[in-house]
Structure formats: C-alpha cells, structure tokens
Amino acid sequence: MLNRAVLTGRLTRDVDLRYTQSGTAVGTFTLAVDRTFKNQQGEREADFINCVIWRKSAENFANFVRKGSLVGIDGRIQTRNYENQQGNRVYVTEIVVENFALLQSRSDREGGNNNGAYPGMAPAGSAPTTSGNPFDNPFGGSQNNGGGSNNSNNTNNNAADPFANNGDSIDISDDDLPF
C-alpha cells in the first residue's frame, strides 16, 4: 500500500508553530498549489492544501519560511476527526510533512520590498516581465539556485560552476563508475 503526497506551492500565511503539552513542536500551514490547467475564463486556479509538520522539522521550517515562500513538501495524506465545542463531528484531511525543500534563494526569501506580492514576482497591478526563455522559472527567483542573475547568458557564473564546459575533457575510468 502506498500513501505519498509530493507538492510544490507557496505558503498562504506564516507557519503557526505551537507546542503540545509534552513539549513537541507542531507547525500548521496552508500550501497554495496551482492547477496545471486553466478555467473557462483562462485563469489558473489553485488548491489550498492544509499541512502539518512535527518536531525539529517544524521548528526549522517555521524559521526559514514566510508567507509567499515557494516550498516543496513530501509526506502522506492523513484523515482524522474530532468533536468541536458545539458537539459537531469535524473531519480533517491534511498532509503530514515528512520532508521539505526550500525552492527559493535566501535573497529572494528575505528580499526587498515587493509591495505584498509573492517574493520574486511582479507586484500586483504591474505587467509581468518574461524574457521568453523556456528555462525561466515561472515561480520567480533564480533558476540556477545560486542567487545570481537569471539571464540565459550565464558566462559570469562559469567560475562557480564546476561542471561548466571550459573545453577540457573529463577523464573517467571504469574504477570511478559504481556499476
């Protein structure tokens, strides 16, 4: 049997970090995940997925992300129910996060004033700018994960890239291969 959920999206609010009576950290948040298709009006809709993260991972996650942060999560779907104060049965479906990845550079996460827009995206009311490059990151930020510019001509970044093509051949012997 398999219960696995892998999502990429943006936080709709800061992580709500709390502690149980026994001192275990638990963080709750909602992830906005864009759908892959557009509706009849040509607009892309999103699903808002409730997530929960536990223990040290919850503390780390809450320290490094804010509203609008682009994250990837890996976890499992969980359903539970409880009785609220009015005596009604409430059913909850959520993702229990087991692993996460921060999908923005630190400068994009902590970046300057963006007038309430998501980090790395154009402020509301302004026209988005794209270069037409198919490798541009549609979520904003830089594609090269190292900060820097997102230009299609990244010759300035070759010094930091150990895999950049500098014309030298790579010598790999059979002893270097794992199989």
Alpha-carbon distance of 94 to 27, in angstroms, equals: 12
The segments of the chain whose pLDDT lies below 50 read 112-157
Quote the pLDDT of residue 107.
Answer: 72
Q: Is 118 exposed, middle or buried (0-12, 13-18, 19+ CB in 10 A)?
A: buried
The pLDDT score that the predictor gives to residue 8 is 94
Look at residue 44 in the predicted model and tell me its pLDDT: 87
Predicted confidence (pLDDT) per residue in 113-134, tens digit: 444 444 444 333 333 444 444 4
State the pLDDT at residue 136.
45
> What pLDDT is stored for residue 43 in this prediction?
87
Q: Indicate the pTM of the whole model.
A: 0.58
Alpha helices in 22-145 (DSSP H): 55-64, 106-110
User: Could you tell me the domains of the chain?
Assistant: 5-107 (2.40.50.140)
Tokens of 71: 């994250």
Position 171 scores a pLDDT of 67
CA atoms of 70 and 8, how far apart (whole Å): 7
Determine contact, residues 137/104, Cβ cutoff 8 Å.
no
User: What's the pLDDT at 34?
Assistant: 92
Residues 177 and 53: their CA atoms lie apart, in Å, by 38
pLDDT of residue 31: 95
